[in-house]
A and B are shown apart, each in its own frame.
Chain A
Amino acid sequence: MTQSETSPSPGGTKRRDLLTTATVTLGCAGACALAVPFLNSLKNPSATTLSDKTLEVDLSSLAPGQDMTVQWQDWPIFIQRRTPQMLAALQTPAHIATLRDANSKMPQQPKDATNWHRSVRPDYGVLVGICTHLGCVPSFEKPGSAPEAEGGYSCPCHGSHFDAAGRVAQRAPAPYNLPVPPVTFLSDTKIRIGHSAGDPGFSMSDIQQI
């Protein structure tokens, strides 16, 4: 090293400063770029590979007022067959007044389920059975089993209550209605979960919160 290369110029900079800074900057940029695939590999692969998987469910054994649970993409899916009483209870103004999001304003469902019964057909309801509070699985209250029970769901963890359409009660700690998965009716008693004929572009990642 000669003296002229090391001695500071009047500005306090050295001749090699630009070279050093450029090398270090580019080196760091390269290391960051290399880190991207490494971090990328930690992502949940099911988000990319399982999302197009669908599940077909036969509903012929489901009697009015009954509820069944199936598993789709690691989620419990509640399927209920509603009685006329359940449907009537969903529409009473007194009941609607107790709900946090009675008109399903939050994007918790596909477009074809954005209605008062939050399902494709009023007589069947399909919901993701995960409480929007802290992720417990709510339990079904059979219609008529309790004074106020009209086929809703109550969460055992912190007492959140959802009506038969999965709409959350105002007094509950859960912030959102239960999510509705995309559903297509293949026949009167057979549904396909995972694809919505009424809202083909819908993806579970569009949901506000599961």
Chain B
Amino acid sequence: MPAPEKTSGWLERRLPVMSVLRREYIAFPMPRNLNALWSFGAFLMVTMAIMIASGLFLAINYTPDITQAFASVEAIDRQIPSGWFLRSLHMGGVTMLFACLYIHIARSLWYGSYKAPRELLWLTGLGLMLMVMVTAFAGYVLPWGQMSYWGATVVLNAAHTIPLIGKPVSELLLGGETLGNTALHRLFVLHFTMAFAIVAVIALHVTALHVVKPNNPSGIDPVSPKQTLPFHPYYTSRDGFALCLFLMVYAGLVFFLPDLLTLADNYVQANPLVTPRDIRPEWYFAPFYAILRAVPSRLGGLLLAVGSLAVLFALPALDRSPTRSATRRPLVRLSLPLAFLSFILLGVAGMHPPTETWLIVSRLAMAWWFIHFLVVMPLVSEREITS
């Protein structure tokens, strides 16, 4: 067939899409020993696409006005044809997105994917996590339920404690001291805009991945072509299969358990005069909320909550060991799972009322999180004997 070849050649000389796709997504050499944890990046991409598509269609029916926002979300659930499905897809998507994000990051911590030459891959990834958090926060305010309103109020009051700039900046951004119409409208715009900014940073993240090539469970970069497999068909079919399993879990959440992770209080319209009895964050913010509560000072709590993420950004500098995979580092192999456990315990504590027991659990867990990153990692990387 000479005609199509001519067309592709014409395109190739002007915009080499096909050859780039062939190089990066067909022939691209992947380490042959990747395990299932390497599929979570693909899950994140698919979830993000679903979030943007469902978000656009929800935005068509949403009204960012405090008198109508709650009713418009109820109308989406009850009146708009298939609206319940789009909303359930969007709400379930947040859970799937954060679950995959945390597993994706935990995998990078365990296998040392943040080390040279992948520092920028790590930093763009953490940047994406922060952007997703901001987007999720803004998005959670939009239904204008009681939890939307009071959750956001708590966060804003925490931000107000930042010396000098906290209050003026948040007033400038939200157009007032408390949450009102202006704030809701701006949060809607922020939610919308961040979604597309995330797409741009994903492009950076994936480009960086294709430059430095994926890490692998051994932490040792493949040296010979025998240690690699072409992306297609090996990893396309494997990621495809994993995606099917992932989508089954996602669909189960959307169709069978749409109310599993939502709070009943958010189906009561926001009332600035009544705070719900039991304010709880969404599960994905629970660890940070637990830190906020575990510290008896408002500014201190905020600093430590932010610091718990900042240590991740600093990790390439804190961990100087050239050995990547924790499986080859006896001390990290003990310390890092405890840090994972601390994160989970903080999450559980954040979902419970702040009783004495949960405060102690949060403080211990928080202490270990910081000890692991600020003490164990720098010391171990200097004097460890790796296997």
Contact = CB atoms under 8 A, between A and B. Distances in A.
Interface string A1-19: 1000000000000001000
Interface in A20-47: 23, 36-38, 40-43, 45
A15 B85 CA distance: 39
A48 interface: yes
A41 B79 contact: no
Interface string A126-140: 000000000000000
Contacts of B54: 38
A49 B233 CA distance: 49
B79 A38 contact: no
Contact of B61 (A40, A41, A49): A41
Contacts of A41: 57, 60-61, 80-83, 85-86
Interface in B53-103: 53-54, 57, 60-61, 75, 79-83, 85-86
B75 A37 contact: no
B61 A16 contact: no
Interface residues of A, number: 13
A42 B60 contact: yes
Q: Is the interface of B mostly helix, strand, loop or mixed?
A: helix
A45 B53 contact: no
B86 A38 contact: yes
A40 B89 CA distance: 15
A141 B90 CA distance: 54
A86 to B, nearest CB: 42
Contacts of B82: 36-38, 40-41
- B interface, size bucket: 10 to 19
B230 interface: yes
Given A16-B233, A23-B240, A38 B81 contact: no
Contacts of A40: 81-82
B184 to A, nearest CB: 22
Nearest to B56: A38
B346 to A, nearest CB: 36
Contact of A37 (B61, B85, B230, B240): B85
Contacts of B240: 23
A112 B252 CA distance: 50
Interface of B: 53-54, 57, 60-61, 75, 79-83, 85-86, 230, 233, 240
Which 9 pairs show the lowest CB-CB distances between chains A and B? Answer: A37-B82, A40-B82, A40-B81, A45-B79, A37-B85, A43-B81, A41-B82, A49-B79, A45-B80
15 contacts: A37-B82, A37-B85, A38-B53, A38-B54, A38-B57, A40-B81, A41-B61, A41-B81, A41-B82, A42-B60, A43-B81, A45-B79, A45-B80, A45-B83, A49-B79
Interface of A: 1, 16, 23, 36-38, 40-43, 45, 48-49
